[in-house]
Amino acid sequence: MDKIDVVYHHGGEFVTNKDGVLVYKMEAIDVEEKIDVDTFDVFAMRNHYLALGYEKIEERWWLVPDRSLQT
């Protein structure tokens, strides 16, 4: 079984830096390590957000490794 680490950047905002590149200015980082890719789903993600103290999530964004936020 393949395992992944899921990194949650939360409490921040998207901003354009001085070079005109979109970046995420973060407040907090939380990591879930060694997650089984066969069992990780939207419900597991929701439960983690609840554990972080968020009652409602309106949007989720993700970034494919080695890609920019613009893509």
- pLDDT tens sequence across 1-54: 799 888 888 888 889 999 998 888 888 889 999 999 998 888 888 888 899 898
pLDDT at 62: 79
Specify the long-range contacts of residues 30-33, CB closer than 8 Å, at least 24 apart.
31/5, 31/6, 31/7, 32/5, 32/6, 32/8, 33/5
The confidence band for 68, taking pLDDT boundaries of 50, 70 and 90, is: confident
Residue 56 · residue 21 · CB < 8 Å: no
pLDDT at 34: 93
Residue 35 · residue 48 · CB < 8 Å: no
pLDDT at 61: 79
